[in-house]
A and B are shown apart, each in its own frame.
Chain A
Amino acid sequence: MTQFMGYARPDKSVGVRNHLLVLAPIDCSFEPAKKIAAQVDGAVAITQYHGCGSDPVIVNNLVGTALNPNVAAVLILGLGCESLTVNNVADGVKPSGKPVETLVIQQEGGTLKTKEKAVRILQRWAQQTAEYKPEPFPVSKLILAVECGGSDATSGLAANPAVGVACDKLIDEGGTVIFSEPQEMIGTQHILARRAVNKKVAADVYKMIDQDEERLKAIGIDSRWMSAGNIDGGLTTIEEKSLGAIRKGGTRPIQGVLQNNWERFDRPTHPGLWLQDGTGWDVPSVTHMVAAGAQVVCFTSGQGSTTGHAIAPVIKITGNPVTYQQMEDNMDINAGTILDGSESLNNVGQHIYQTIIDTANGKKTKAEALGYRDYIVFCRSRAAEHMLGHC
């Protein structure tokens, strides 16, 4: 079985990075949070932009991010008058046993006094975590998230199937894979449901994708029709179009649908392939899979993408060799070699698998090296979901 070098956390999870998270539960404290994080090596600041109400979806995703094993320690920085308090987040993180501290700007007497305390805490953690020694772990401790964005005709032909080969191998070795973007699964409900491990999971697959069809229908879009451009591009049916997207998750049985709503926030309970109910918007989609525990991300893009993530390495793969040439600063892997027959699909898949392991072992992705720290929490309109009868 493949192994990787990771950092053991008190809750038995394994991180592949040692980020110090400066978490602003509300945007009011985000500017000071960014200045504080900028002072300390390895610190990164995040927030969300859905107001200061204590919405469970927002709290769960922030807590999930802080619980992700790539985070070594968490400093939660609030303003003071918000309903979504520092303790709402801290209470969710403390049971993990990782270091957590909270600071509230209104109580500290302004941002400068807060900053001095905050930087001292982070400085101490930065020195401590630098001494953490990575240890070998089996890949059963690894969760990979897969995402696609900026697709083109090469995505379904080269990059997605090659990432799918890597996903199958990771799962066969005992690992876990999550993929999301239910809008891209429309038309393949029956195929994904057939791959479900039981009838309940099959019903969950239908429900997740059907609900996304209903959301589109509510704004006048019939998602089952193929556009003339799709057909001119060589896609014959909606099944084919969606299969090109879902192939990035590989072909293994589906263990369950991870919910991310007002009632539940799920994480994978055992290895294998999982779907997550989520959004087709790239950065939030990645954010939610990382909040569910993914330590590494594979991101396919035909046209090229710059995406990174606050706390997880994002490996970017293109199936378009010209995109690779033109955007080599941003794309990690060229799967376009499949197109001229110079490399086989399976060989490129093996190469991606090895890159996942190397990245877990500490190899920096291009987005990491360039300091890209994308982070967005997405939340559906609760009113609209009520009106559609989804909650």
Chain B
Amino acid sequence: MVATRYNYLEARDPNRLVMVKKAIQIDEKDNVATSTSEVEMGENLEVISPNGVVILKPKVVEPIPFGHKLAIKTIKKGENIVKYGEVIGVATQPIKSGAWVNTHNVGSARMPTSGKEAEIL
């Protein structure tokens, strides 16, 4: 296989028979992880902590594209989505562990900026 910038996992090790795909948890507080390859429904997947520990082998219930997020905990509607240890949005519907997370089930929690300092401080 010719190496391109987005099939590098396959390109790295073409002879590997069983390749367990990975998703990375960037901060230990995160309730989502980011997939480092295309994952099909039912495929094996390992979620790796910042320390390199496999913390979850989720049941993949729907395809997860490269660079996209999946829930690594059950997330209730209205609950914060945490990545980089920070709130990146709010669940607009319940999300099962292992489910794909994107704009279809998360909304921005972004605050307006100018004039809103008082709310933060």
Contacts and interface: CB of A to CB of B under 8 A. Distances in A.
B121 A240 contact: no
Size category of the B interface is 35 or more
Nearest to A337: B12
A124 interface: no
B9 to A, nearest CB: 6
Contact of A321 (B8, B26, B51, B89): B8
Interface in A155-193: 157-158, 161, 165, 187-191, 193
Given A194-B120, A339-B36, A239 B88 contact: yes
B89 to A, nearest CB: 4
Contacts of B81: 236
A302 B79 CA distance: 32
Given A210-B114, A325-B3, A234 B88 contact: no
Contact of A231 (B6, B13, B103): B103
Interface in A197-221: 199, 202-203, 206, 209-210, 213
B31 to A, nearest CB: 13
B8 A322 contact: yes
Contact of B22 (A244, A303, A340): A340
Interface of chain B: mostly helix, strand, loop or mixed: loop
Contacts of B24: 157-158, 338-339, 345
B72 to A, nearest CB: 15
Given A206-B117, A347-B52, A189 B103 contact: no
A339 B27 CA distance: 15
Given A231-B103, A322-B4, A346 B50 contact: yes
B109 interface: yes
Contacts of B4: 322
A251 interface: yes
A71 B116 CA distance: 43
A178 B95 CA distance: 38
A213 B101 CA distance: 28
B78 interface: no
Contact of A161 (B8, B26, B69, B86): B26
A347 B24 CA distance: 14
B66 A190 contact: no
Contacts of A202: 117, 120-121
Given A161-B84, A240-B88, A341 B8 contact: no
A383 to B, nearest CB: 22
A243 B83 contact: yes
A188 B108 CA distance: 12
Contacts of A231: 102-103
A91 interface: no
22 contacts: A153-B66, A153-B67, A190-B120, A191-B87, A213-B113, A231-B102, A236-B69, A236-B102, A237-B89, A239-B89, A244-B84, A303-B5, A322-B4, A325-B3, A326-B3, A341-B48, A341-B52, A344-B49, A344-B52, A344-B53, A345-B26, A347-B52
